[in-house]
Each structure stands twice: as structure tokens, then as C-alpha cells.
Structure 1
């Protein structure tokens, strides 16, 4: 049994491992950003802006800029999957929040999020640690852009249709 990714690479690549051979991993198109890297946590432009939602029985306005999200704090880690699924770790005071945003259109996002996660001092706030408690089955919250971009949508249901309830 192969015990690590390095073991797997060694089994596949043999003596070429460690000789400057660059390997690509085509199985998942995901990019990770962590604090301390040259591109710490750039929130993509498609997500930035003012977003309206209905949360906990209240109208909610969420502001997202290049580095932070209102009521969540500053971005410290991010994972991007296929340019439409984004998972973030935000830090506000001593609290970390995991927020997963799904881009439905340029004007609509959906999100799920964790509550406050406190980590022991000195522990790195990785996506794996902070997002461990994120429930993927929780109700999605829909966010609508406060400054929508007009989109010319052609109807996919054109013509004359007949239907009946049965």
C-alpha cells in the first residue's frame, strides 16, 4: 500500500522523481492560496461587490472586496474549483469562518458557511482545519448583486407548447 503522494509519484516516476521533473495533477482543477504566499488570498472579481440576501429572517447586505467579506473578516486562505466554486477561510479577531461560495451567474451567488471556529494559538488556519465542520447539506443562502450586470438571455423555451397537469 502506498502511504503518501510522494510514494505514489515514486512508484510512477521511479528514478526521475527529484531530478527537476515537473508533474501535473489533472484530476482536480483547484488552486489553493494560503497566507504567506505571494498571492495570499485574492478574492476573484466576479465575487466582489455588494450582495443582498435574506438570512435568519432579515434583509442582509454583504460587502465583498479584494481581501475581505463583511461580518467574516479578512481572507487568509482560499480554494478555487473550476472558476465557479470558491471556499474561503476568513479571520475576524480570534475567530475563523469557512465560507463556500458558488457562482450561479454574474448576478447570483449561493453560499454555505460555518460558524466561528477557534484554533489553538500557533495552529495554522488551513482550509482542512477550519472547514472540517462545514455541513455540505445545510440550506444554501442565495445572494443577489446590488449592482446587477445586464445579461441578454435568449429563452430556451421558444415556440408553442401544450401541456397538461396529470
Structure 2
């Protein structure tokens, strides 16, 4: 029994020593005050809206961004540039299997795998998962005053979101919906 106590004490001292030198801090993202907007483009125009963050954390080593992970609630996709029936129809279509299939895939996630930079300006690399398909994504992020901001370009065709995609269908003409869409992310922590 004394050996077990000694082993436990040794592990505890080793862990405390390790954490005191790494200075790793995990900050919860305030999902209520954070905001994600999206904008999708088609030959004849564009549409935009919002989507809610379900959870998120950012990791810092000292004051330098080191990592993080996020979950997006795909069931909250809304359209902000339309009203009435048009709004409801597009929201329903985006949630359907033609696009994000939120009944089967209610969440998407992003896990930071690498961070370069300093002084609040970073190039972030991570794994984005939508519809159970994971692909790498790299973008710039600024961090200051308990806020992180990023603009992402996402290629939906890499996540099997095919509806109206010129990458999968020929002769769409003015019905084509471009594969890349924009997301503007503001994280409050």
C-alpha cells in the first residue's frame, strides 16, 4: 500500500510540475454572444444567414493561441436575406438531404490541429467535419480582448453537398450554385 501512495504522489508531483511549465489555459467560448454568418453564391445572386455555435473552447499557452475545438448546431441554419415563404423554403432546403441533411447530421465540428503566428494574428489549420466527412481547412484568425475573428472559405463539394454544384452536374447554366461559401466567425470568450 505504501508503494501505491508513493507512486500516486510521484505522479501528482510530475503532473503539477509539467502544468506549471506549460501554462496551458482552456477558455470556454460564450456561445450566446458568439456569431457565425454565412453567404452562399449562385450564378444569379447570393443568399446569406446565420448558424449557431453549440459549444467551443480555445486553448492558449500563455497569451498565444495554441488550439481549440468547436461544434456547430446545423439545425439552426437560418436565412436572413429572405422573408415569408421564400425564407422558410430555403431554410428547409438547406436542412434537407440535398444540402446538409441535418436530421442525420445535426452537428458539424472543427478541431484546430496547428497554429502559426503571434501577437494576436494567426494562421490556423484544422479538421472540419460536415456530414461525417473531414477535410483540412486553413484560415487567418485574429485574437484580442477576449474575442476571436475569422473569415473562412469552405468548399461544400468536399463534404458531399452536391445540390446544384457545377463540380458534379453539367449543363446547370443559371441554376448553378457555386461550391465555395463564406463564413464569418466571431467568438467571444
* Fold match by TM threshold 0.5: no
Higher relative contact order, structure no. (Cα contacts within 8 Å, ≥ 6 residues apart): 2
TM-score (norm 1): 0.34
TM-score (norm 2): 0.31
User: Whose strand proportion is higher, 1 or 2?
Assistant: 2
